[in-house]
Every structure is written in structure tokens, then in C-alpha cells.
A and B are shown apart, each in its own frame.
Chain A
Amino acid sequence: MKRLAVLLLPLFLALATAPAQEAGFDLQAAAGYSATDAGEFSASGKLKGWFRLPLSSSARFSGSGYLQVGTIPAGSSAGVDAFKAAVDELGFELAIKAPVEGMQGFSFDLGRFPFEDPTGQIVSTPADGLGFGFHYPNLIFSFRAGYTGFLFRETSDVAMSLADAGRAASTEVLGPARFLGLASLELPPLFGQRIGLSFLAQEDLNPESAFVQAGAQVYEPGKGGPLDTQYFTLRARGPIAAGLRYEAFAVYGTGRILSWLDDAASPSGHSYRFAPIQSGLFGLSLALPLESFLPQATVGLKVLVATGDKEASSATEGNTQAVFHRFTPVTSSSLGLVYSPSLANLAFVEASLGARPDFLPGRFQAAAKLMTFLRTTAGPVSEAGLDPASTSAYLGTELDLVASYGIYSDLGLLLTLGAFLPGVAPAGAFSTAYAGSHLQFAARLAVTLAL
């Protein structure tokens, strides 16, 4: 890690001193306390650097990255136990307005840029690659291809398979390697509604040594196979009435997963073979402005439902049936501040209220979210603590409060508070023996200064 810091420090110094057209640093200090399965204080410092170098009126070279030191658990003899570094963006962007008659714009980028599907729930990670965008008056087509294998392991959010989990627990510098391809089409508005279609494909490029070979007849705990998936998405959004807006989407997920299946010809009675995936993800969100009630207030409702597989033997891979039905996103999602299981075998309902009261100087924003977590089948979810004998769908309820206050344009505070009450057996799915089966909470205060 020290070597990594030595390598990255000159990069940040170069960003600060280069004759770039615009460059800067954001310095953040944060302190927090979380009481989940065990209470723990933490502190961290983060330095984020960025630059934008315009090459012409339509082209620029830009980049951003960060160094983070922390967390510092109470009682830790090591003091500093985590050092993270990441390059979030680094590349060339071209945006041409009206390149030809009848076309509004064309965009192209090459390098490391955010890779996100239109729902934001399947994949959201930086990736190295390229992207094209063709903007017509009522039609937008875009294509993006990327590779995740050059992201640092410590900061990679790619978490699909046992090979990914093994990589995350290793001492390797780089994270899981996957190819991502995304094609999106935004159709002309229909009765005021925007409708989009997209296709996302990801291919597992982790090394063969990380996998169990197909056909193997001996069970290997903790090892799985290559996991290749595809996702077809239909998405609609627009106004309904009197300021009420919605977004709805449906995703059909397919692919193949190496599975531990019954096999009469095997001495063990089982063998590893590929099985098809048929899964789904559904989402609906509603947002209604309440300006007359509170300044710049919005009330929202969000529902996400991801299919599960009750026969799965584990929360990661673990298929034992001819067809696997659990939805598997490419990157882990962030749902609650305290409890945030992967969007697989999960139903999530969130009611929110956000406001921007103007009684304080500066810019103050606050939001409250009440969330309920359910599982869609009696199978496992990504977070620990469930009672294996329970068939209850109820996982728990969380209340999160987030407040940000911009004291100046370059100095801001962010306070986050979250409390999660697990649903304990028999009414809920959590085991009474689980150390975190009581009320869990987390609090964090961060100060950010833009240098």
C-alpha cells in the first residue's frame, strides 16, 4: 500500500501543479459510530483530486481520483487499518453539437468513465473502455463497452460470484475482471412518456484458476464457476398528473451459472454443470413536489423487487436446480445506511421526504427515508444473520436521516443517521442467536472543504 501511495502521490501533485485549465482538490474528514453486530468508532480522511483540460470547444481531457485513509476502529493497535486509492475517471471526451443536419449531437469518450445501466440498479462502477452517443431530436442511441479488471480491488464494487468474493478477500492489487457492454435506445415520447430499451451484457473474465471446472464431480466449498449474464430492460418515465412523476422499469435477466446438480453418473451423485438463469427485477418510483407544505419539498415512494431462488444453497451462486431464478446485479447496491443487502432475492419499499428549508443561511437540505426489507423467497440473502429454519419474508425496517449544510460554497457538512430494526424469528427472518438481531444504528458526520 505504501508503494501505491508513492505511485499515486506524484499523480495528485501533477494534477495540482499542471497547467490544466481547471483542477482542484476536495478534502473530507469524517467521524462515525456504528452499532451493528459490535459497536465501533471510525474516522477517515479523504482527498479527492480532479482536473478538466479543454482541448477545444468540443473536446476535453479529464480525470478524478481519491486517496482515503481510515477507518480507525476503537481499540485497534494498528491505528490506521485501511488505505484506499482509486482513479474514478481518466479519459478523453468529445461532444459535437449538430454534426450533421437532423442530428442534435454526437458524443464519444475513451478512457475510464462511469458505467451505469439506465436503472442504476444493475451496474454502477467506473470502467475502462469507450462510448458513443447519437442524439436525434426525439431519439437517443448510445453504446458503451468497458472492462473492470484495471480497477483497484479495494474500491471495486463488482461482486457477482464466488470468484469475485475470493478476489475481494485476496491481497491482489486489481479487482474482479469483467467485460461490460451496454446498448440503450431512448424512443420518441409517447403521450408525454419517455420509453427506453436497453441491453446489458457482462462476461466473466476472471482467471480460469479461480473457477471450478465444468464436469467436476467433487464439491469445492468457496469456489464457483464463471458467471456470464445479460439483462434486457424496458423503462418508462414521465408525468402522471399535477406534478406527480413516475419511473418504472422491468428487467429480464438471463445467462448461465455453474451449478452443483444431481448427476446419477457421478460417484458423488452430483457434478458441476452450467444451468440457465431466468430472473427479473422490477422497479417503480413516484415523486410528488410539496412546495406548499415545505420549501422545495418532495415526497417519494420507491419499490424494488428482485427475484430469488428458494433452493439456492448460498447467497452467492449456490444453484442446485435446472434453472436459476435469483436476480444477480453486477455491482452491489446501496439501499440503507445500516442494512444494505444485494438486490437479489429482495423486495424493498422506501417512503421518503426531502426538503430544502430556507430559514438558515447557506444551503440546507434534509431527507428522511423509511425503508422495509423483505425477501422474495425463503432462500438466502447477501447479508448474514438469517435463521435457516425461518421461511418468513420480513427482514426488517430502517429509518435514515440525511442532512447537508453548505456553510459556504466550498465548505459543507453532511450528517447521516440510520437505525435498522431486524425482523427476528418467528415473525421475521433473522435468528435470535444473531449478535446483530437487536436495534442497529449508525451515525456519521463529514466535513468537506473544496480546495
Chain B
Amino acid sequence: MRSQRFCLVATLIFAAVLGAAAQSNALVDELLAQEPARVDYAAYLALAAGGAVPETASPAEALEAARAKGWLPAARAGEEPLRLDEYSALVMRSLGLKGGLLFSLFPGPRYAYRELAYRGVVNDSGGPKRRIPGDEALRILRLAMELKGGTR
């Protein structure tokens, strides 16, 4: 019951952020059901939130955009499980978050994950290679947007 309530709240927050488009709601619902989350759906979530792809884009288009920008490796397949460190990089690059000295030099998963762990956005107890479920991906995005907005 608690997780269902959390999912509902998270969905509403996300819907408000993205303009409550029906397609995005459907994709978010699918993402919430994923455990672990898929790379393409997570890419859609992060890139749409940052405006790097329109919210009408598909997960496959978001994945392609992330690859084209160099935010994900070219060999990364959409149906593969999402890792916490690569999602950290997607979120930071998409939202344009500033990181530490080494993130500005090497803006990859390693320093993105460490920056978000330092800021309390990601749970680092399982390490950077941990596969994360869809609801956690949504929560990380919400906290990162709070960080960008200066409310965190």
C-alpha cells in the first residue's frame, strides 16, 4: 500500500513537471513496473525532464539521443538493466547539473555517481553498479530537480 501511494505521488510529480502528457504518463507507469529499470525508459525519463528530447519521444528515440550525445555508450542496448552510475550521468548531463572538479573534466558515470552520492541524491550503500528499479529512478530524478532548483 505504501509503495503504491509512493508511486502515485511520484507519478503526479513527474506528470506535473512534464506537462501531464498522456504518453509520458503511460511510459512512467511502465517504468514504475520495471525492476530493474530498462536503459531506454530511464533515458527517456532523464532526457525528457531536461528537455533534451520532447515528451512525445519514444524510449528508443531517447536512447538514441543519449547515445548521440555521448551520454551512454553506443553499445548499450535499450532493454538492458539500468545501472545507478550511468543513470547518475544521464540525470546530471540532461539537467545540466554542475559537479565537482573531476566531473567537469571527466563527466562520466564515475564522477556523476559520486557527485550525486555526495549531495544525498542517490543511495550509495549498494555501490555504483547497482541495478535500480523504476521507482528509484523517478525518485532520483525528483531529488536532482530539487537540487537544480535550489530547494535541496
Contacts and interface: CB of A to CB of B under 8 A. Distances in A.
A434 interface: no
Nearest to B104: A408
Interface string A1-35: 00000000000000000000110100000000000
A57 B127 CA distance: 10
A408 B115 CA distance: 9
B76 interface: no
B130 A410 contact: no
A410 B128 contact: no
Given A449-B101, A451-B102, A409 B118 contact: yes
Interface string B92-104: 0000000111110
Contacts of B130: 21, 54
- Chain A: interface size category: 10 to 19
Contacts, number: 43
Contacts of B124: 22
A411 B101 contact: yes
B126 A409 contact: no
Nearest to A407: B101
B126 A54 contact: yes
Contacts of A53: 127
Prevailing SS type, chain A contact patch: strand
B44 interface: no
Contacts of A57: 126
A52 interface: yes
Nearest to B116: A409
Contacts of B119: 409
Interface in B95-145: 99-103, 111, 114-115, 118-119, 124, 126-130
Contact of B100 (A22, A24, A54, A409): A409
A389 interface: no
B128 A21 contact: yes
B78 to A, nearest CB: 24
Given A408-B100, A409-B100, A410-B101, A21 B115 contact: no
B92 to A, nearest CB: 12
Instruction: Please indicate which of the listed interface residues A54, A60, A410 has the most CB atoms of chain B within 10 Å of its own CB.
Output: A410
Contacts of B114: 24, 409-410, 450
Contacts of A408: 99-101
A410 B111 contact: yes
Nearest to A411: B101
A21 B124 CA distance: 11
Contacts of A407: 101
A445 B132 CA distance: 40
B115 A22 contact: no
Contacts of B100: 408-411, 450
Contacts of B118: 409-410
Contacts of B102: 410, 449-451
Contact of B127 (A52, A410, A449): A52
A54 B128 CA distance: 10
Nearest to B110: A24
Interface of B: 99-103, 111, 114-115, 118-119, 124, 126-130
Shortest Cβ-Cβ A-B pairs, 9 listed: A21-B127, A410-B100, A408-B100, A409-B100, A409-B118, A22-B127, A21-B129, A408-B101, A411-B101
